[in-house]
C-alpha cells in the first residue's frame, strides 16, 4: 500500500506541477518580478522592486542561491559578502559600494523594504561573475552563474555505431584518439560487470552490461587523459537475484573477493545494485536495507586496503525503491550518485529532482553527492537546469547516463556550466 501511495503521489505531483520551474511560472502574478538562477526560481519572502530602473532584491536569498556567505551589520547598516575570493561591501542608502576594496558607483542604493534589506541585483550578481538578463515583457530576471569546477562522471556502456561511447568521448571512431569532450568529463563509470546469484563476477550479461573487446584500450586512453576509472558492477533484483545474493554469506564473500581483485585494474568500484525495496515494508524493508549495508561495509573495508574508492549508484530517495539507507551508505562510500530520474515525465520533473537532492543532502554531505542525469530524458535546455541544481546545492558534480547519447548542443552547454575537476 505504501508503494502504491508513493507512486500515486509522484504521478499527481508531475501532473499538477509539471516540475518546479513550470509550477513557478503557473503561479506568476501580474507585476511580480521573478528571478531565476541557472533556470531554477529564487524564492523570496519579500518581493523584488524596481527603483530608478534597477531591480532590487532581498540579498540573503540570492546570496544563498549562489553559495555566497553574507553578513549584515545592523549597527552600521552595512552588508558584506564573499565567496572566498571576491568580497563586496554595501551600505544602506549609499550609492558607493566596494568590490575587493575598489569603490563602485551604483545606479540605485540598497534599501530596507518590508523589514528586509534589498540590494541592486545586477551589481551583486555581476560582482560574482554571473550574467544577468532582464525580460521586460514577462518581468523575469535570468541569472547565469559562472562555470564551476565539478566532477562529471560519464557512464561508458556499449552502444552501436551511432551511439558509441568512445566516439562521443574522444571525438573520433575507435580506436583513434582525440581530445573530443575530455575537457568536460572527469571520470568514467565503465559498465562492464555483473554478478550471478552465487556471487561470480561476470563480464557478460543479457542486459548489455558487458566488457567489450579492446577494453584495455579504454583504460590506456583514460590513463593518458587523466580520467578516473571505476568498474561498474550492475545488478537488478529481477526474480529476486540480488536479494538472494545478499542473503547468501558464501555468495557475498565470493562477490567481494572477485570485485576487490578486479578493482586493481581501476581507480575504484561503482556499485549499481538496483530494484531493492519495491514491495517490502516495515521490518522487511529494514532487513533489506541492513543486508545491503552489510555488503557495502564489507566491500568498502576490502577496497580501502588497496586504496580503491567506492561509489554507489542508488535509486533516488523519493523513488518507489526504498531499499537504500542513504545515511549509513553515505558513511561507507566515497561518492553517491543519485539516480534522480525515471519519474515518468520528460524532461524529468524539476521539483522531484530537487526533492531527491534535498532528501539525500539531509543525511549525506553534499560534497559526497553526484546528481545522476538520464540524457534520453532531457533536452539541451533542461540538462542545463539539472546542472544548475547540482551547483545550487553544492554537490560534487553530475553523472551522465550515458556517453554516446550526449549531443553537440549538450556538450556546448556543459562547457558553459562546468569545468573539469582534477581534484580526484
Residue 19 has pLDDT above 60, yes or no: no
What pLDDT score does 5 carry? 39
How high is the pLDDT of residue 354?
Answer: 98
CATH of domain 30-144: 3.30.457.10
Query: First-to-last CA distance in the chain?
Result: 43
User: Where are the chain's structural domains?
Assistant: 30-144, 148-208+217-419
- pLDDT over threshold 90, residue 269: yes
| pLDDT above 70: percentage of residues in the chain | 92
Nearest alpha-carbon partner for 390 in 350, 346, 424: 350
Instruction: Determine the pLDDT at residue 121.
Output: 93
Under the banding of pLDDT at 50, 70 and 90, the label for residue 154 is very high
The three cell numbers locating residue 171: 571525438
Confidence class of residue 51 from pLDDT cuts 50, 70 and 90? confident
Q: How confident is the model at residue 209 (pLDDT cuts 50, 70, 90)?
A: confident
Per the prediction, the chain carries an average pLDDT of: 91
Q: Is residue 224 pLDDT above 90, yes or no?
A: yes
Contact status, residue 89 vs residue 97, Cβ threshold 8 Å:
yes
State whether CATH 1.10.10.60 applies to domain 148-208+217-419: no
Q: Report percent pLDDT > 90 for the chain.
A: 83
Please determine, for residue 13, whether its predicted confidence score (pLDDT) is greater than 60: no
CA angle 416, 418, 423 (to 5 degrees): 155
Reported as a single tens digit per residue, the pLDDT across 379-418 is 999 999 999 999 999 999 999 999 999 999 999 999 999 9
pLDDT in tens, 104-150: 999 999 999 878 899 999 999 999 999 999 998 999 999 999 999 99
Q: Do domains 30-144 and 148-208+217-419 have the same CATH topology?
A: no
**Backbone dihedral angles phi then psi of residue 44, each to the nearest 5 degrees:** -115, 145
In the predicted structure, residue 17 carries a pLDDT above the cut 80? no
Strand partners, 134: 141
The pLDDT of residue 206 is: 67
The whole-angstrom distance between residue 148's C-alpha and the CA centroid of its chain comes to: 13
Per residue in 256-265, pLDDT (tens digit) is 999 999 999 9
Q: Is the pTM of this model over 0.85?
A: yes
Confidence at residue 371, expressed as pLDDT on a 0 to 100 scale = 98
**Predicted local confidence at residue 9, as pLDDT:** 42
Amino acid at each position: 500500500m505504501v508503494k502504491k501511495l508513493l507512486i500515486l503521489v509522484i504521478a499527481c505531483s508531475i501532473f499538477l506541477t509539471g516540475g518546479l520551474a513550470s509550477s513557478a511560472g503557473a503561479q506568476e502574478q501580474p507585476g511580480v518580478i521573478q528571478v531565476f538562477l541557472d533556470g531554477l526560481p529564487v524564492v523570496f519572502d519579500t518581493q523584488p522592486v524596481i527603483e530608478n530602473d534597477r531591480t532590487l532584491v532581498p540579498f540573503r536569498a540570492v546570496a544563498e542561491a549562489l553559495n555566497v556567505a553574507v553578513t549584515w551589520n545592523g549597527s552600521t547598516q552595512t552588508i558584506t559578502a564573499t565567496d572566498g575570493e571576491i568580497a563586496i561591501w554595501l551600505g544602506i542608502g549609499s550609492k558607493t559600494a566596494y568590490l575587493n576594496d575598489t569603490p563602485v558607483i551604483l545606479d540605485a542604493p540598497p534599501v530596507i523594504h518590508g523589514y528586509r534589506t534589498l540590494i541592486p541585483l545586477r551589481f551583486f550578481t555581476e560582482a560574482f561573475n554571473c550574467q544577468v538578463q532582464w525580460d521586460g515583457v514577462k518581468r523575469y530576471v535570468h541569472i547565469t552563474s559562472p562555470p564551476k569546477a565539478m566532477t562529471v562522471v560519464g557512464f561508458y556502456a556499449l552502444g552501436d555505431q551511432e551511439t558509441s561511447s568512445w566516439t562521443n568521448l574522444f571525438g573520433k571512431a575507435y580506436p583513434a584518439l582525440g581530445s573530443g569532450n575530455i575537457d568536460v568529463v572527469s571520470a568514467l563509470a565503465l559498465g562492464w560487470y555483473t554478478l550471478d546469484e552465487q556471487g561470480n563476477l561476470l563480464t557478460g550479461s543479457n542486459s548489455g552490461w558487458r566488457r567489450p573487446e579492446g577494453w584495455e584500450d579504454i583504460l590506456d586512453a583514460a590513463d593518458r587523459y587523466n580520467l578516473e576509472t571505476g568498474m561498474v558492477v550492475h545488478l537488478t533484483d529481477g526474480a529476486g537475484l540480488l536479494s538472494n545474493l545478499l542473503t547468501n554469506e558464501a555468495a557475498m564473500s565470493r562477490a567481494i573477493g572477485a570485485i576487490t581483485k578486479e578493482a586493481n585494474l581501476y581507480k575504484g568500484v561503482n556499485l549499481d545494485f538496483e530494484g531493492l525495496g519495491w514491495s517490502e515494508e516495515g521490518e522487511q524493508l529494514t532487513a533489506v536495507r541492513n543486508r545491503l549495508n552489510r555488503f557495502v561495509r564489507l566491500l568498502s573495508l576490502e577496497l580501502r586496503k588497496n586504496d580503491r574508492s567506492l561509489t554507489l549508484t542508488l535509486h533516488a530517495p523519493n523513488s518507489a525503491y526504498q531499499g537504500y539507507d542513504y545515511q549509513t551508505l553515505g558513511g561507507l562510500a566515497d561518492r553517491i550518485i543519485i539516480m534522480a530520474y525515471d519519474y515518468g515525465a520528460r524532461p524529468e520533473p524539476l521539483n522531484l529532482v530537487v526533492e531527491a537532492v534535498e532528501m539525500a543532502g539531509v543525511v549525506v554531505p553534499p560534497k559526497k553527492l553526484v546528481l545522476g542525469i538520464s540524457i534520453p530524458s532531457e533536452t539541451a535546455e533542461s540538462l542545463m537546469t539539472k546542472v544548475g541544481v547540482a551547483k545550487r546545492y553544492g554537490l560534487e558534480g553530475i553523472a551522465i547516463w550515458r556517453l554516446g547519447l550526449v549531443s553537440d548542443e549538450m556538450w556546448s552547454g556543459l562547457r558553459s556550466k562546468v569545468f573539469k575537476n582534477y581534484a580526484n
